[in-house]
A and B are shown apart, each in its own frame.
Chain A
């Protein structure tokens, strides 16, 4: 009986974490007025791609909300590497639709699959142009209705460029993070990095055009709030 009770106690302890993970939450805002977005004129000049639009779509380099909330900022923990769980995570999908990449900014973990689809009725080539050594450059054809292409990357890298050389206005920027502690700010500017173990960290916010901001935080047993404000110089 004593042994049985001891077993129950040990089992219960196993389910009680010794330390409580917490979330890092916050909001990203933009101070200043960004330059106006530009229309994809070359897209409209292309017979196939231009036919998909009545008016020219514009770039989305600065996605800013009515209260200056800034989207498409990648927030991650600086210098936290080697913690990737990417191989066990579901794939992230990026589509080629309307002769544009959708989404144009995204983030994955090292080892996590990135699936690239072609929903268009025309040829695209998916040309990956990494900057980090160890992430190989590749250039693959994707015919309309062709099989999805799958990519994985072993080295962390911010804003790795994906491009289509058939349609030279088509770009996407994929950030590869070597840990699960990252997220992308939404159109409301909000972000949440979930289940961060207690400790001292430097939180890094990266915007492709605006650069990088960092803040030091300490995570204990409750959520930590950290906000970032980018300035248009």
Chain B
């Protein structure tokens, strides 16, 4: 079974994110970029499935600027077999990503797509679900445990009230939650081997997808700074401030 693992290039989780001065988006120039941590968990899960003999080939896909090749190389160093880079500068919306992935699925016929539940840049949490809808495939989102037996996948999902177990028919879309696994460190020999693994570069047009954004971003701003607390002299003053200043009661 082939596995498809989409990996997104995002601002590194250690970086303090800043909004561009013109409010058009987040500053990414001269900022350290890494693979989305949830996607890293997805790659790790795919590599484990390959090590168990369930998967035969892992294809890492990244969509974005040419520099996304770095994130594909990271996936290759962790154990993916080859990469596909769909080059597209500027904003790529979840629906575009889902359509591009659908086109790649048509080419590659994977038995399973494993991806992060969301990317830590815009926290959309949409691509996996959209892809499942476009494909008409089953989806196991927020997975904290994945078991494959024959043509079925059992997924334990993290939901608000606790854990939910679902059984899916394959092919399916799995989105990885934080506790699915702990990603490995790439070994030095695998980093060096990753240099020789192939990366195919495509354009959205090659896949018959129009990448034009459908949404317009009006403004991006930093969350309001937290105000310093104040001491009140009496309960009456507290109630008064809650009612008349904070307007919460």
To the question of whether A and B form a pair in one complex, the answer is no
> Which residue numbers of A lie inside 8 Å of B, CB to CB?
none
